[in-house]
Amino acid sequence: MTTLIITLPPEPPLATAQFDYVLTPDGRTVAGHSRVPAALLPPAPNGEIVAVVPAQALSWQAVQLPRGTLAKNFLSESSTPRLRAILDGLLEERLLDDPAQLHFALAPGARDDAPVWVAVCDRAWLRTALQSLEQAGRPVSRIVPEFAPPGPAGAGNNHSGNGNGDAAGAALHVIGTPESAHIVFANASGVTVLPLSHTSVALAAWPDALPILAEPAVAALAEGFFKRPAALQQSAERWLGAANSGWDLAQFDLVNSGRTRTWKRAAGLWKALWQAPRWRAARWSVGALAVVNLLGLNAWAWKERTTLDAKRLAVREVLTRTFPGVKVVVDAPVQMARELTVLRQATGGASNGDFETILASFGALALVGSASTAIEYVANEVRFKGLGLASSQVAEAAGKLKPQGYAVRAEGDSVVVKPEVNP
């Protein structure tokens, strides 16, 4: 499934705004990336469109939600206004702007028994950017942050710019252009964004062991400021990693309905199962299981077909051995019955279809109190009229004659007895 990843510009998008995009066929490799106006963004037929919020546009707040705030119907229509009001009250004193002008989003897997991260950005800016993409025919199905704290809120010390929080697996990112370069550090204490300068490098006192990942345009600047090598990382690779995260900032008023939210979650789960590296072993296992089952079914079908062919050959051999005059076998059971009939007629032997045999078998039932007024024999079928048998008596007679190869049925005031025709 093709995924189109679009990075939103930090400034309010105008009609001439340029959008960086990444196109990936499998969520792991980059098929193409560029910067174009919204109208020239490539399509993603039957795929997902993911918007990336740049690090400069987000702030991060750790909050402790009251117990019972996050019910099982998390972010349902009934719980959204209440949860939003709770966040407004918790963050009102921490934010410079009015909470009504801001958009909030909770971290994936948020729980009310532990601190949780809240991503905060300007609501009007985000809505304008999303509307620009929608007007260009690129409606966004998911919104992710460019950088996010890698662990739960409160897992590390409060970050004061020194990078001494939980830095396991963390790195310093230097992004932007030579004219506007920034340092981004995301760890369990939050996300720090600072302009690249001698002051920020000296005051922050970043650990020397912390690796540096820099975009090619600012790699030389990063090495000059930090006095150590920097590994190159294309912005497209960073945005691809952001799109593969479990984040979705489309919450509260950006969620249109429960059906939309359910569809998005189902699409995200399908994408994770189909593309995410952590599910690769499961995908291989399912594929191997399907192949093994297919091979097993084919082997079983071949065995059954071989057994059936052997039985057919045995029947043909019985026919040709018993009646050497049969040279061509078309339908062995039918031909066997025909040859037996001819042999019986030639030797004067009685068969199940003869009148005397049917009459003797039916008479052996000893139906006391029943006398037939007329008996007809036509084409191996004997019709006894006027017996006056009840349906239970007819059923009893049918049960007794069935082992002898006869079928018994009632037709009006008559009882019909005839040899059963075996398929």
Is residue 41 predicted with pLDDT exceeding 80? yes
Q: How confident is the model at residue 168 (pLDDT cuts 50, 70, 90)?
A: very low
Is residue 258 predicted with pLDDT exceeding 50? no
pLDDT the model gives residue 46: 74
Domain chopping of the chain, boundaries: 1-148+245-275, 152-234, 284-347, 355-419
Q: How confident is the model at residue 57 (pLDDT cuts 50, 70, 90)?
A: very high
pLDDT average, residue stretch 373-401? 84
Number of CB atoms found within 10 A of residue 151's CB: 19
Q: How confident is the model at residue 74 (pLDDT cuts 50, 70, 90)?
A: very low
Strands of 57-134 (E only): list them.
Answer: 59-63, 102-106, 116-122
pLDDT the model gives residue 347: 72
pLDDT average, residue stretch 339-350? 73
Which top CATH class is 1-148+245-275? alpha beta
Task: Give the chain's length.
Answer: 423
Is residue 160 predicted with pLDDT exceeding 50? no
pLDDT average, residue stretch 60-83? 73
pLDDT average, residue stretch 275-285? 76
Residue 399 to residue 184: CA distance in whole angstroms: 89
pLDDT average, residue stretch 17-43? 90
More confident residue, 193 or 75: 193
Across the chain, how many H-helices and E-strands are there? 10, 17
pLDDT the model gives residue 159: 37
- What digits encode the pLDDT tens for the residues 259-269? 444 555 566 66
67 backbone dihedrals φ, ψ, rounded to 5° = -60, 140
pLDDT the model gives residue 162: 36
Residue 2 to residue 318: CA distance in whole angstroms: 64
Which tokens in the block code for residue 314? 């045995």
Is residue 340 predicted with pLDDT exceeding 90? no
More confident residue, 343 or 214: 214
Sort residue 130 into left (φ over 0), alpha (ψ -120 to 50) or beta. Answer: alpha
pLDDT the model gives residue 268: 61
- What digits encode the pLDDT tens for the residues 88-102? 999 999 998 899 999
pLDDT the model gives residue 104: 94
pLDDT average, residue stretch 249-272? 64
Q: How confident is the model at residue 53 (pLDDT cuts 50, 70, 90)?
A: very high
More confident residue, 241 or 262: 241
Q: How confident is the model at residue 26 (pLDDT cuts 50, 70, 90)?
A: confident
pLDDT the model gives residue 385: 87
- The torsion angle over the Cα atoms of residues 308, 313, 318 and 320, rounded to 10 degrees, is 150
Q: Which CATH number fits domain 355-419: 3.40.1350, 1.10.150, 3.40.50, 3.30.1360?
A: 3.30.1360
Is residue 157 predicted with pLDDT exceeding 50? no
* Nearest-5° Cα angle at 190, 186 to 194: 65
What is the DSSP secondary-structure string of 344-401? HHHHT---TTSHHHHHHHHHTT--TT---SEEEEETTEEEEES----HHHHHHHHHHH
SS in 3 state form for 217-240?
A: HHHHHHHHHHCCCCEECCHHHHHH
* Residue 316 near residue 332, CB atoms below 8 Å: yes
3-state helix, strand and coil shares in percent for the chain, rounded to the nearest 5: 40, 20, 40
pLDDT the model gives residue 332: 82
Could you tell me which residues come within 8 angstroms of residue 113 by beta carbon, excluding any fewer than 6 positions away? 67
Which tokens in the block code for residue 30? 């980059």
- Output the pTM of the full model: 0.60
What CATH fold (topology level) applies to the domain 152-234? Answer: Nucleotidyltransferase; domain 5 (3.30.420)
Domains 1-148+245-275 and 152-234 fall in the same CATH topology: yes
Residue 123 to residue 252: CA distance in whole angstroms: 11
pLDDT average, residue stretch 68-80? 59
